[in-house]
Chains A and B, each alone.
Chain A
Amino acid sequence: MGKTMERRKFLKAGALVGAGAAGAYGLPLLTSLRASAGNALAPAAKCRWGMVIDLTKCPPNCTACVDACKRENNVGSTGDRLRDIYRIRKVTIESTLVAGAAPKAVPLLCNHCDEPPCALVCPIKATYKREDGIVIVDPHRCMGCRYCVIACPYNARHFNFRENEQRPNPAFPRRQHGVAESCDLCAHLLDQGKQPACVAACEDVQAKALCVGNLNDPASEIAALIRNHSVKRLREDLGTEPKVFYIGL
């Protein structure tokens, strides 16, 4: 009799812990499944920002977009290659498959994924996707755990390793150390009806390789560009649904 009671207690406690485990792991799974099920091809939101980068128009040695971004967002450079922040950076790539292919200069930035891994892993929702599709960090909530930097498959996230005293743009807050940093498509400018700094700078140098616009608007320039060109997104196989489209990659 005593033995049966003990076994019953054992089973009871086991069931309790099992239910806890199922809750802790099952719940996120269920919610994530529901979230992806609701994400059909045509989102209901009115505006869905995206970007097109035309590599055939991007001059190899030009860094106008990178410089403008740093000025606009008060992101300084210290020459520390391991820790300097680039919301947008330009890299050169060379083919490993075929000899004689010309190198390409490619601007890289946050892809504002529709399924952003950074927002998925942020423990406190400091990184989130706005209704208009922009993936953004709330620097007043971020506690600097850097899990988002690790989860981003595009190396597009950076961390403010040091205090940045430079503030070329007085209209924008100074960058403080200890929080994550990434491109937000200059949401503060887009919200005022202006172009992001990189896009404006690219127009200023007459390159016009960058275009930001509403993917949901059939009359927008970006929609036409994507319709009329063969576009590529980075690592589409990952299922992150990037909203930065490359022409000529």
Chain B
Amino acid sequence: MELKFERIAGKSKPFYLLTFLLAGLVAAGVYSTWLMSDQGLYLSGMSSRIPWGLPIVMAIFYIGLSAGSLVISSLYGVFGKLEYKPFARVATYMALLLMIGALLSILTDQGRIDRVVVEPFSHFNFLSMLSINPFLYASYILICAAYLVVMMVGNDKWTKILALVAVLWAILVHSGTGAIFGFVPRALYNSPLLPPSFVAAALSSGTALMILVLLALFRLTGRPLDQAPVLWIGRLLAVLVLIAGYFVLIENAHRLYAHESRAAERFFLFGGAHSLLFWGGLLLVGSVLPVLILFHRKAGASIRWVAVAAVMVVAGVLCERYLIVIPGLAYPPDLFPGWTITQSPIEEGIATYAVSLHELLQALGVVALMGLLFLWGLRTLRLLPGEAGRG
């Protein structure tokens, strides 16, 4: 049976209320961004020792989520599984939006926002991961957009080609993002495993988010959802979480084993509040519990429990993103092996970081903007399957 896609009406009271709320958050985010750009980044929680904070954490979180969305869309686009066709358009649109959100987070995080649009595309340093990635991100957005367009036009041949290109390109984008950290010689960054580990966490968190978005969308718009494909995605999620966890385990075991990184790893595992995020957030809530739920014979077959597991995975990967960026910066490089710095005019030793209000507002603004664009997309583009087309 032919599947028809349609727009949502978008005329209900909650729709306008949500739009209004999101617009308010965007305005607050724009104000905070302007203030930090005008006055200086001292208004953020960042410092000379921890010069990357919440914006970068959120950026790599979004980049990850974007890949997972593409995986869901590829189930139809690449593998031609018709039961996933109803989700394909929305998933691709999400992938596109999340990457725009990531790019926006990075853009607004710069000290000189006025130079960001010109400099990275006019002066290159192809030895720098931060020079390669803008090209990867920009091309990824274009590929996703093209993929969405051919899917909506109904060109099956090009849908298949572009879906494949998009998925493979997503892996490249994520490896590149992981390399921003993995290729830098800091004790907790430097690791060839970081790019693949980044891809794995990206796929699991994005798949989890997609489950939640689909469940919410179909419920809110009163569309009956075929449970079987969602439950299958749940099982896929469990496997992805296991793969991501495997990378995390190997990486940390290696750091603990090697003499040169043991002190840093001890700090990572037992050195402060971030350790709680590792054990409680990433491992327990983000990995072990969701896998147990998803593989459980009864819970794994219940949409409600799958949704709970998906929330846990998304939260766990957010913890993981924080754990990639912040502790790696907080742990100091050893300037004088065999000596310790006891006095300094600046912060030496373990550095501290706390998110500031403006940083938070900026991050919420980016989330809200993605939300607005999502609502706009639902109302303007034919993203959701119509009632008549239910198979």
The chain A residues found within 8 Å of chain B, CB to CB, are 9-10, 13-14, 16-17, 20-21, 24-25, 27-28, 31-32, 66, 80-86, 89-97, 103-104, 106, 108, 117, 120-126, 141-147, 149-151, 153-155, 157-163, 177-180, 234-235, 238, 249
Contacts and interface: CB of A to CB of B under 8 A. Distances in A.
Interface stretch (B130-138, B207-215, B217-225, B288-296): B130-138
Given A10-B164, A21-B172, A96 B48 contact: no
Contacts of B179: 25
21 contacts: A13-B164, A14-B168, A17-B168, A17-B172, A20-B172, A24-B172, A32-B127, A92-B343, A95-B338, A124-B120, A125-B124, A141-B123, A150-B51, A154-B335, A155-B332, A155-B335, A159-B111, A160-B40, A160-B111, A161-B40, A161-B48
Contacts of A155: 48-49, 332-333, 335, 346, 348
A91 B343 contact: yes
A188 B90 CA distance: 57
Nearest to A17: B168
B119 A141 contact: yes
Given A28-B126, A89-B344, A123 B120 contact: yes
Interface residues of B, number: 65
A117 to B, nearest CB: 6
Nearest to B126: A28
B257 interface: no
Given A121-B129, A141-B119, A153 B185 contact: yes
B112 A83 contact: no
User: Closest 3 interchain pairs by CB?
Assistant: A144-B111, A178-B111, A82-B47
A94 B184 contact: no
Contacts of A145: 109-111, 130
Contacts of B175: 21, 25
**By CB atoms of chain B within 10 A, which of A24, A120, A145, A146 has the most?**
A145
Contacts of B346: 81-82, 84, 86, 89, 155
A158 B184 contact: no
A70 to B, nearest CB: 11
B48 A31 contact: no
Given A21-B172, A32-B127, A177 B111 contact: yes
B341 interface: yes
Contacts, number: 205
A143 B116 contact: yes
B185 A9 contact: no
A144 B160 CA distance: 40
A121 B109 CA distance: 17
Given A80-B42, A146-B111, A155-B333, 5 more contacts: A83-B47, A93-B342, A121-B184, A141-B123, A249-B336
A90 B110 CA distance: 29
Given A96-B338, A143-B115, A146-B52, A81 B39 contact: no
Given A80-B42, A141-B119, A91 B126 contact: no
A9 to B, nearest CB: 7
A86 B119 contact: no
Contacts of A103: 342
B161 A13 contact: yes
Most buried by A among B136, B185, B340: B185
Interface string B85-129: 000000000000000000000000111100110011011111111
A89 B344 CA distance: 8
